[in-house]
Amino acid sequence: MTPLVLHLPHASDLIPEGERADFKVSEEVLLRERLRLTDWHTDGLFARGADPEDVIAAEVSRLVVDVERFEDDAREPCARVGMGVTYALTTDGLMLRDLSPGRREALIAAYYRPHHRRLDEAARERLTRFGRCLVLDAHSFPSRALPTQTCFDDPPEIGLGTEPGHTPPGLLDRAERFFRARGFKVGVNVPFAGAMVPSAFLGRDARVSALMVEVRRDLYLDESTGLPHAGFVRIRDVLTDLRAELSA
């Protein structure tokens, strides 16, 4: 165990058989949404050689439940485009699902709350052992803008997201310098803002810090297939070095 928790909220593309009936779209449309929304291979990019105790990964696709969203849609900006904790619309604005309140609650109880309990417990363990915890929130993003993105005119190669009260200026500066020294174009809170902080500590305990790292997907895969290309190894090696530096 290290003081760093690696959070992988969107790496899974699993839609359990029992959840497929909720979706109102064809297999072709669902495949397109999975291809566009899954943070493909972020487990391989960010977690090579990591202690399994340091990794908290969502068990199912974000199309089933998005563990990165607020449970309450009133608090979640992405809910305005039908992509809150339980997605209702596709990235093209088509109806994806029409969940009853009971079905929505069942999905949240099955996948969302257990994930956040694991994240809370991981932070508690590190505060007890090390007196601090850093959540590295690991993502990728497509080269074509999603409905949840507000600024995409000149997308960076690496996006860093911060959370007020939980991303110390020194942590952000260190990450910016790390990527720029390796030749990457870096954006801060572009194309996405924020970073995952375990719910029990959000706004309550500054000993829990957080940083989101978003990698533009064309740097490491073919976006038409989701398959890695030759750039994968370079990005993986860079992110392995980042994790080691932040864990120190």
Q: How many CB atoms lie within 10 A of CB 70?
A: 16
At 146 the pLDDT is 74
At 183 the pLDDT is 97
Ranges of residues in the chain with a pLDDT under 50 are none
The first and second tokens of residue 81, run together, are: 């485009």
192-248 residue pLDDT tens: 899 999 999 999 999 999 999 999 999 999 999 999 999 999 999 999 999 999 987
Q: What's the chain's average pLDDT? A: 94
At 149 the pLDDT is 63
What is the rounded CA–CA span in Å between residue 149 and residue 214?
A: 13
Nearest to 93 by CA among 11, 21, 25: 25
What is the rounded CA–CA span in Å between residue 56 and residue 162?
A: 19
The whole model's pTM is what?
0.94
The first and second tokens of residue 12, run together, are: 């899974």
Quick one: the chain helix, strand, coil %, rounded to 5? 40, 15, 45
At 122 the pLDDT is 98
At 202 the pLDDT is 96
- Name all domains of the chain by residue range, CATH numbers in brackets: 4-247 (3.40.630.40)
Contact 242, 4 (CB under 8 A): no
